[in-house]
């Protein structure tokens, strides 16, 4: 029986509930939705087999679990020792929201005020505190909109920002990058109207094959009133995949909905509510997606790169591992971890850790909850399941994670702290 009708419309508190930064469209103007983008020519399966930067995907057993990754080191087991760690403050900024390492080793942090700032310089990079990109004059604070995420292109030539424009539309733009210095105006990669001020999602990451992934929420409102999560006609509630190489923007020919009548061809996977952080494990190729729940269940998904194409993560039929508005859809990819509300209320997705200083967390997935601030790690058990351990450290309204150039995890909280996870 459907729960959409009688269920209260109020959504679970989101980890971006305290955010609000509306960014204007860039000078080049908005891009059309994917239906108006050209489809890239098909690429032979072995075309990048010799590329040194192409991660080797790890075979899975059909449910998103993995065997030994390409680096030859198995992830730290679920029953292994839990290291004693602490959070070391790197610097303070006005509400940091995302972090990424630039090609020269510089740690860049995006703030909700619309600036990308040097948190730690590389060997020859600009000093700490340098503003690399400033869109603050194109920013207001409203709802859950704003500067939401950043990523660096695999070849290091572009810094990708995901944000919302004054009308609340999703806008993804790429700034030319040399080391840690932006050298010119941005180009628009993607734009899509948003019907509500919440559930923007908006994270960006580069896939194992170099294409750009964009994770979007279901458009907002409580209980998916637009029925976007299961509708391949709308890019809302989906992971999108775009080829943004060579100064162009195209839909990859092997996207699962290319050629499907009425479907948005840029869609790679559907069934998301409000994905708050995706992470592509550069060693295994697996994609981690943390999806904020409606009112009861938070979830973390791990999907191998091969299986992500055409995957259905379940929303709104499922809320995590529980029924919400129906039975699991055909081909449903279930989460590898869920937890109920209290004291947690809104999952913050993180990163796969491969820090040489923390071998007991090698291959573990770090995540947190916006409401309780606990930093946790998911580690695999011998039966292929993943189990969470509390690392005993907390942030204040943890809103994002990143990895610096040496593989150390960076934790961002809306109290204004950029923190690094280090051995105690």
Where exactly are the structural domains of the chain?
A: 354-424
Confidence at residue 72, expressed as pLDDT on a 0 to 100 scale: 65
Confidence at residue 139, expressed as pLDDT on a 0 to 100 scale: 53
Confidence at residue 195, expressed as pLDDT on a 0 to 100 scale: 85
Tell me the pLDDT band of 42, cut-offs 50, 70 and 90: low
DSSP β-bridge partners for residue 365: 352, 378
Which of 221, 222, 201, 216 is closest to 3 using CA atoms? 222
Q: What is the mean pLDDT of residues 79-92?
A: 95
User: Of the ranges 60-74, 97-111, 374-388, which one carries the lowest mean pLDDT score?
Assistant: 60-74
What is the SS3 assignment for 136?
helix
Confidence at residue 8, expressed as pLDDT on a 0 to 100 scale: 32
Continuous segment of H or E residues that includes residue 308? helix 305-308
Instruction: Give the CA diameter of the chain.
Output: 61
Q: What is the mean pLDDT of residues 126-146?
A: 81
Q: What is the mean pLDDT of residues 363-387?
A: 95
CA distances to 103, 328, 374, 403 from 295, in Å: 40, 18, 19, 30
Q: Which residue has the higher pLDDT, 65 or 186?
A: 186
State how far Cα 61 lies from the chain centre.
24
Q: What is the mean pLDDT of residues 29-39?
A: 61
User: Of the ranges 51-65, 72-86, 249-263, 345-359, which one carries the lowest mean pLDDT score?
Assistant: 51-65
User: Of the ranges 14-28, 75-89, 226-240, which one carries the lowest mean pLDDT score?
Assistant: 14-28
* pLDDT > 70 fraction of the chain, expressed in percent and rounded: 83
């Amino acid at each position: 029986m459907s729960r959409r009708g009688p269920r209260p419309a109020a959504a679970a508190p989101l980890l971006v509930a305290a955010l609000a930064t509306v960014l204007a469209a860039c000078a080049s103007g908005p891009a059309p939705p994917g239906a108006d983008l050209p489809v890239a020519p098909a690429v032979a399966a072995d075309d990048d087999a010799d590329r040194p930067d192409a991660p080797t995907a790890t075979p899975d057993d059909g449910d998103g679990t993995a065997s030994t990754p390409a680096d030859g080191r198995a992830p730290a087991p679920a029953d292994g020792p839990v290291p004693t760690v602490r959070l070391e403050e790197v610097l303070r900024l006005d509400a940091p929201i995302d972090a990424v390492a630039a090609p020269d080793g510089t740690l860049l942090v995006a703030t909700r005020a619309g600036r990308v700032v040097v948190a730690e310089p590389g060997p020859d990079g600009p000093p700490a505190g340098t503003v690399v990109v400033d869109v603050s004059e194109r920013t207001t604070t409203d709802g859950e909109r704003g500067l939401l995420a950043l990523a660096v292109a695999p070849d290091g030539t572009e810094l990708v920002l995901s944000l919302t424009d004054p009308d609340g539309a999703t806008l993804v733009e790429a700034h030319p990058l040399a080391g840690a210095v932006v050298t010119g105006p941005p180009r628009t990669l993607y734009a899509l109207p948003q019907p509500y001020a919440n559930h923007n999602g908006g994270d960006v990451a580069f896939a194992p094959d170099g294409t750009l992934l964009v994770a979007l929420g279901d458009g907002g409102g409580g209980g998916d009133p637009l029925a976007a999560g299961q509708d391949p006609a709308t890019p809302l509630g989906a992971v999108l995949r775009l080829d943004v190489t060579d100064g162009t923007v195209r839909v990859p020919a092997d996207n699962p909905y290319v050629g499907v009548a009425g479907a948005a061809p840029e869609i790679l996977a559907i069934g998301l509510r409000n994905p708050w952080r995706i992470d592509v494990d550069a060693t295994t190729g697996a994609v981690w997606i943390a999806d904020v729940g409606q009112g009861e269940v938070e979830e973390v998904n791990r999907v191998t790169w091969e299986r992500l194409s055409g995957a259905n993560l379940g929303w709104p039929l499922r809320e995590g591992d529980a029924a919400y508005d129906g039975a699991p859809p055909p081909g449903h990819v279930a989460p590898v971890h869920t937890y109920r509300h209290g004291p947690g209320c809104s999952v913050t997705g993180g990163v796969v850790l491969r820090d040489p200083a923390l071998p007991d967390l090698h291959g573990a997935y770090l995540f947190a909850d916006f409401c309780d601030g606990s930093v946790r790690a998911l580690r695999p058990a011998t039966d292929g399941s993943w189990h969470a351990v509390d690392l005993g450290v907390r942030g204040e309204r943890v809103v994002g994670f990143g990895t610096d150039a040496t593989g150390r995890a960076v934790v961002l909280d809306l109290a204004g702290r950029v923190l690094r996870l280090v051995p105690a």
